[in-house]
Structures are given as structure tokens and as C-alpha cells.
């Protein structure tokens, strides 16, 4: 029970950090192109994570030691999740808007449940499916269905790809965590993502300008690198290590919920009754699947 509680806290914090990411990234993307921003995030995140990993390694944590057979899996996690998924997320948001991005990527938990069934052999129970449907309905109510999917067709397709690839990352992190620590997985997967992103970053700079003369832009990049990447990636992987992937996926729904709340708190956006109805349904979905977990222990 304690393990599930810690996992729930980690996943909730990670999703909450990403909730604030949409506001920050949308502002920074007006000055820095998407793939360049992803590259900057990973440079900062890798430095932070590597320093922490080395400090932990001094304490002889044997789960930070990686065998040759593990490198391919970590490289795959870095490619499919931290390179493809994040690049899709930034490009899709750039081609659409933060509202559409939040709505489309909220399909991620459903994909996680499906992939967990086939890759991890987790049981697909009625209670788990009900939880995902309740929480998904809650997200739709919070954000609303009034999107410009037709206008943003290409951006929407790319955002669907972001949701699918992040679901794959979450499942394969669960596979890797059976032998490796979450910190080691996150650190070296971010390193591989940095390697994969570098050619795209160099190519993008050939036709795009980068503006960094604004203090808010610099602070935004640091926030995205330290908090939304190093911190949130580690917490998400740690939470997935401690919980079933299908159960942990439900906490992803805190992202749009927190994003809407921060929009009200920081940007003076209005919260109507839909926010509270949708928030209740999201919480209900989490409670339903949590009750299932308690009964099986």
C-alpha cells in the first residue's frame, strides 16, 4: 500500500508539472523553434540528472549499473518517448494551439492501458476501462470539445502520434525498471534523446532564428529543462515503476486539470462549472481504479 501511495504522489507531481508546461512552452515557442527548444531542454536536464546520478552512484546503488543488454532498451525509450513523442508534442502544439494539444494528448492513458495489456500482460478489467472512460470524459468536459481540429489537421495528427509514443514509453519504462533504477533509466534515455535530437536541431537552425535576449525566455527554458524534463520525467518513471502501468496512466489526467487551474491562477482565464464537473469525474476515475487495487492486495 505504501508503494502505491508513493507511486501515486510521484505520478501526480509529474502530471502537475506538465500541466504548467503548456503555458510556458507556448510562450517560449514564439521565440525559439520547437526542436531547438527540445534540444535545450535535454542539455539542461541531462546535466542535472547526471550530477544527481553520480551522487547516488557514490552510495553504491547497484541499480545504476547498466549492462550491455540494457542499452538497447534505454536507447529505444530515449528514441520513442523523449525524442519522437516530445518532438511531436512541441511541433503539434506549434501547428495547433495549447487547448487542442491538451485535449488530444489526454488520450495517452487509453493507449497505455492497451499497450500494458499486450506488452506487460496486465489484466484489462471492467473497472480499469471504466476509470479511463470516466477520466477521459472529465478531461473533455474541463477543456471542452470546441477545438479547431479541421483547421489544425496536421497538428492534430502529430499530437495523436505524441500520445501513442508516450504511451509506449510509459510501458517500456515499466519493463526497464525491473532491473534498473528510475534515475538511471531517465538519465541515459535523456542522453540518447539528446543525441537523436541534435541532427534535427542543427537542421532546424538553418531556417529559423532563435531569440533569447529576454529574461523570461531564459527562465522559461530553464524551467522546461529542470522542472518539466529532469524532475517530471524522473517522477513519472518512478511512479510507473511502483504501480501497474494501466493504473498509473490515470494520473496523466491531472495534466490538463492542473493546466486549466494554472491558467485561471496566472493568466486570469475563467473557470466555469465544467471545470468542477470534469475535475470530479477525473478524481472519480482515479478513485475507482484505486479501490480495485486495494481489493487485490
Contact of 144 with 274, CB cutoff 8 Å: yes
In which domain, by residue range, is 150 found? 1-125+146-243
> Residue 4, CB half-sphere, CA atoms under 13 Å: how many?
15
Residue 6 resides in a domain: yes
Arithmetic mean of pLDDT, 22-47: 87
pLDDT one-digit tens code per residue, 94-140: 787 666 676 677 778 888 888 888 898 888 777 778 877 877 777 67
How many structural domains compose the chain? 1
Task: Look at residue 111 and tell me if it is in a domain.
Answer: yes
Q: Which residues contact 136 (CB under 8 A, 6 or more apart)?
A: 106, 107, 109, 110, 253, 285
Indicate whether 110 belongs to any domain: yes
d(Cα 241, Cα 1) in Å, to the nearest integer?
14
Residue 11 in this model has a pLDDT that exceeds 60 = yes
Query: Do the domain assignments include residue 141?
Result: no
Residue listed under C-alpha cell 516530445: 86
Q: Which of 91, 204, 230 is nearest to 155 (CA)?
A: 91
What is the Cβ-side half-sphere exposure of residue 87, based on CA atoms within 13 angstroms?
A: 19
CA distance 159 to 64: 33
Using one digit for the tens of pLDDT, what is the confidence trace for 252-274?
A: 877 777 777 776 777 666 767 87
Give residues with Cβ within 8 angstroms of 217, minimum separation 6: 28, 31, 32, 211
Alpha helices, DSSP H, located in the chain = 2-28, 34-57, 68-77, 86-95, 98-105, 108-119, 126-143, 153-176, 182-205, 215-223, 232-242, 245-248, 254-267, 273-295
57 within a domain of the structure (yes/no)? yes
Radius of gyration of the chain (CA): 18
Give residue 63's pLDDT. 54
User: Cα–Cα distance between 148 and 152 in angstroms, integer?
Assistant: 6
pLDDT at res. 227: 94
- Domain contains 180: yes
At residue 10 the predicted structure's pLDDT band, cuts being 50, 70 and 90, is very high
Residue 22 has pLDDT above 80, yes or no: no
The conformation of residue 65, written as its DSSP 8-state character, comes to: -
Does residue 191 belong to any structural domain of this protein? yes
Q: Is 26 contained in some domain? A: yes
Amino acid at each position: 500500500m505504501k508503494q502505491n501511495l508513493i507511486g501515486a504522489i510521484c505520478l501526480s507531481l509529474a502530471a502537475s508539472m506538465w500541466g504548467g508546461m503548456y503555458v510556458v512552452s507556448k510562450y517560449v515557442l514564439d521565440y525559439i523553434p520547437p526542436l531547438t527548444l527540445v534540444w535545450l531542454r535535454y542539455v539542461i536536464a541531462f546535466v542535472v540528472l547526471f550530477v544527481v546520478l553520480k551522487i547516488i552512484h557514490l552510495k553504491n546503488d547497484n541499480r545504476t549499473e547498466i549492462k550491455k543488454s540494457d542499452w538497447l532498451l534505454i536507447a529505444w525509450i530515449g528514441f520513442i518517448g523523449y525524442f519522437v513523442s516530445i518532438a511531436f508534442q512541441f511541433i503539434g502544439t506549434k501547428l495547433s494551439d495549447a487547448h487542442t494539444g491538451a485535449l488530444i494528448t489526454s488520450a495517452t492513458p487509453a493507449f497505455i492501458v492497451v499497450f500494458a495489456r499486450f506488452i506487460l500482460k496486465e489484466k484489462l478489467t471492467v473497472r480499469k476501462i471504466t476509470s479511463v472512460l470516466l477520466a477521459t470524459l472529465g478531461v473533455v468536459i474541463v477543456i471542452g470539445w470546441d477545438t479547431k481540429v479541421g483547421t489544425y489537421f496536421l497538428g492534430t495528427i502529430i499530437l495523436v502520434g505524441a500520445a501513442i509514443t508516450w504511451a509506449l514509453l510509459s510501458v517500456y519504462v515499466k519493463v526497464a525498471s525491473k532491473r534498473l533504477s528510475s534515475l538511471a533509466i531517465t538519465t541515459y534515455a535523456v542522453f540518447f534523446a539528446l543525441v537523436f535530437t541534435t541532427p534535427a536541431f542543427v537542421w532546424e537552425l538553418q531556417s529559423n532564428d532563435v531569440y533569447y535576449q529576454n529574461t523570461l525566455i531564459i527562465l522559461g527554458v530553464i524551467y522546461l529543462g529542470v522542472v518539466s524534463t529532469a524532475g517530471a520525467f524522473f517522477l513519472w518513471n518512478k511512479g510507473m515503476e511502483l504501480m501497474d502501468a494501466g493504473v498509473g496512466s490515470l494520473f496523466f489526467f491531472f495534466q490538463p486539470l492542473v493546466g486549466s487551474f494554472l491558467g485561471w491562477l496566472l493568466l486570469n482565464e475563467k473557470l466555469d462549472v465544467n471545470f468542477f464537473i470534469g475535475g470530479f469525474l477525473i478524481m472519480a476515475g482515479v478513485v475507482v481504479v484505486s479501490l480495485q487495487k486495494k481489493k487485490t492486495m
